[in-house]
Amino acid sequence: MPYVNIKVTRENGGLTKEEKAALVKGATDLLQNTLGKNPASTVVVIDEIETDNYGLGGELITERRKRENG
């Protein structure tokens, strides 16, 4: 049973239901087409992470974006 975990930052209200459906379909199709995995047993989980819970280069993404966007 393939298990895919997609993690994205939650910004501007987060992903729409349509965007989530597209990610689930795309990941499932990719595993089927590339590895021959059965779509019926493919699990896809999407985690939306608050930017205060994610860091890069020793800095919270929230602060980094504030600095970069002035």
Active-site residues, by number, are: 2
Question: Mean pLDDT in each 10-residue stretch from start to end of the chain (70 residues)?
Answer: 95 92 98 98 97 93 87
Could you tell me the maximum CA-CA distance found in the chain, to the nearest angstrom?
A: 47
Q: How far apart are CA 19 and CA 2, in angstroms?
A: 21
For 20, residues 6+ apart whose C-beta sits below 8 A from its C-beta are 46
Q: Which of 29, 25, 24, 19 is nearest to 44 (CA)?
A: 24
Counting every residue, how long is the chain?
Answer: 70
pLDDT of res. 8: 94
Domains of the chain by start residue, with CATH? 3-69 (3.30.429.10)
- Six-digit token pair at 1? 């049973």
